[in-house]
A = this chain, B = another copy of it.
Amino acid sequence: MTTIGIVHPGEMGSAVGAAARAGGARVIWASAGRGPATRKRADADGLEDVDTLARLARESEIILSVCPPANAPDVAREVAGTRFGGTFVDGNAIAPATTRTVGEIVAAGGARFVDGGIIGPPPRKAGDTRLYLSGSGAAAVAGCFKGTTLEAVVLDGPIGAASAIKMAYAAWTKGSQALLLAIRALAVHEGVDAALVAEWARSQPDATARSERAASANIKKAWRFVGEMDEIAATFAAAGLPDGFHEAAGEIYRRLAGWKDTTTPPSMAEVAKTLAP
């Protein structure tokens, strides 16, 4: 039985842990420094608390890092500090260059590094979510998720490939949603929103629904997307492409971050007012 450590069981990490358990692994986490929401999720998914990161590193063959993009290097440093000698998988939404840095950090601590990128929602039902993996050791990690709600896909590419597909994918989904929200805000600001929606109904039939969905589905998560937009912008810049799309998208999500704890999604007029007062 393979033991997999999850750092840390957020909404995504806990569901990934549950999938690994369904695949036959023992899945552990370390509660030290984590809050009650994390414990509640980990308990609900049957993850075993081993208290400390040191013990988690000692008992794991594989450690899977699932955290906000900005924290990924720190999480890697903490794990490297334990001299973890197994396989470290970074599953975060980070630029290929950031991934390579994370890989160097954990390799310096003695671990083997596998690049990962998760596309889709927390894997609660089959067909929704893919874990892309690249680098030597990817196939063994993929094996842990066989037959589970998380489909592992091994890419024929180096460290950085799994991060790159995640970046390219989110560049469209989250980038186009930020663009649509900015456009609706512009139209409201200029007094032509009703005319734009009427024109879209005739010639861009999906645009209005996409923009409404961007407001209703994403607004509470906007704060989380800011760091991811920074990573996408860095990915574009490293490839010699303009980083302005996602610098702008990051600014849109930054302005919407205050809706984090709203209980009802705001109207488009409220979103517009937040973006262009």
Q: Are B179 and A164 in contact (CB under 8 A)?
A: no
Q: Are B241 and A244 in contact (CB under 8 A)?
A: no
Q: Say how far A55's CB is from chain B's closest CB, in angstroms.
A: 36
Q: Are A165 and B153 in contact (CB under 8 A)?
A: no
Which single member of B155, B199, B207, B236 contacts A186 (CB below 8 Å)? B236
Complex CA gap A191/B190 in Å reads 42
> Assuming A179-B171, A190-B160, A249-B245, is B277 touching A199 (CB within 8 A)?
no
What is the interface of chain A mostly: helix, strand, loop, or mixed? helix
Size of chain A's interface in residues, with CB distance under 8 A? Answer: 56
On chain B, the residues within 8 Å of A191 by CB distance are 157, 161, 164
- In the complex, A276 has a CB within 8 A of chain B: yes
- In the complex, A1 has a CB within 8 A of chain B: no
Complex CA gap A171/B155 in Å reads 35
On chain B, the residues within 8 Å of A268 by CB distance are none
On chain B, the residues within 8 Å of A130 by CB distance are 199
Residues 77-108 of A contacting B (Cβ, < 8 Å): 96
Which single member of B187, B206, B248 contacts A164 (CB below 8 Å)? B187
Closest B residue, CB atoms, query A211: B172
Which single member of B165, B185, B187, B242 contacts A182 (CB below 8 Å)? B242
Q: Say how far A193's CB is from chain B's closest CB, in angstroms.
A: 8
Q: Are A275 and B165 in contact (CB under 8 A)?
A: no
- In the complex, A7 has a CB within 8 A of chain B: no
- Lowest 3 CB-CB distances: which A-B pairs, in order? A244-B248, A244-B244, A164-B190
The residues of A with any CB-CB pair to B shorter than 8 Å are 96, 119-120, 130, 132, 153, 155, 157, 160-161, 164-165, 167-169, 171-173, 175-176, 179-180, 182-183, 185-187, 189-192, 195-196, 199-200, 203-204, 206-207, 235-236, 239-245, 247-249, 251-252, 275-277
